[in-house]
Amino acid sequence: MKFKFLLFIFVIHFTANAFAFDIPERLQYDLTWAGIKTGESVLEAKDNGTNIQFISKANSAKWVSIFYTVEDTVVSTLKKERIQNFVGIPQNYRIKLREGKYRRDKEIIFDHAAKTAKYINYLNNETTSHAINDSALDPLSCLYYVRQLPLKVGKSVFIEVFDSKKLYTAEVQVLNKETVETPLGTFKTILIKPIMKSEGIFYRKGDILIWLTDDEKRTPVMLKTKVQLGSVKAVLVGK
């Protein structure tokens, strides 16, 4: 049975007019399919001095790996410089995916001064250069940016994202407010639906729903996406 594990991001919280975040921070999630645990995900935020790094990893459980191995890693590196009242400017985006026979190994190197992005596909030795604008983010950092915005039910927010050799405007729909139960407790949440064209963080096939805590942290406590058979869910289980 083939399905995709989804990576996702978190760890920053905002006030209404300023950026604030917890670093270092490490959150743990269980990945389940049809109520059965099929893997785990760990997400971290690190301060490396001159830059901030966000790391997302997902791995299949041992019993799943026997017939379908999942080893996904995504790293976003940002220079500590304000852009659009955001924490930093994207410098590098690296994604390595192994999901069964499916493979991806690519990198994006941002040059905001020159308004260009170098795209490298390591599996086919492809390197290309593309134009970007001042507000371009990578698929991982853009979700941090969303969390600094005032989210109102029924109103979408839009962000400029560069990935897979193209710059596009991604829509994030704010659907509802719901109460969610997790192993860590019950949370009041805001339900959002990103309309992304990226793979790894938010794969382009199937709807993706994310429940963020309805507070200043906007912590993702649950994520759900449809797959070929049923759906895959990620639930926060540890901090």
Token reading at 106: 């690519």
Run means of pLDDT, 10 residues per run, the chain, 239 residues:
37 34 83 94 88 92 94 94 78 94 95 95 97 91 83 95 91 96 96 80 65 91 80 92
**φ and ψ at 164, to 5 degrees?**
50, 45
Separation between Cα atoms, residue 141 and residue 220, nearest integer Å: 14
Q: Exposure of 67 by Cβ count < 10 A (0-12 exposed, 13-18 middle, 19+ buried)?
A: exposed
Single pTM value for the model: 0.84
Question: Within 10 A of 168 (CB to CB), how many other CB atoms are there?
Answer: 15
Kindly list the distances between the CA atom of residue 112 and the CA atoms of 82, 160, 187, in Å, as whole numbers in the listed order. Answer: 12, 13, 38
Listed in sequence order, the residues at least 6 apart from 124 whose beta carbon sits closer than 8 Å to its beta carbon are none
Q: pLDDT value at position 199?
A: 61
Q: pLDDT value at position 217?
A: 87
Token reading at 7: 């990576």
Q: pLDDT value at position 86?
A: 80
Q: pLDDT value at position 141?
A: 86
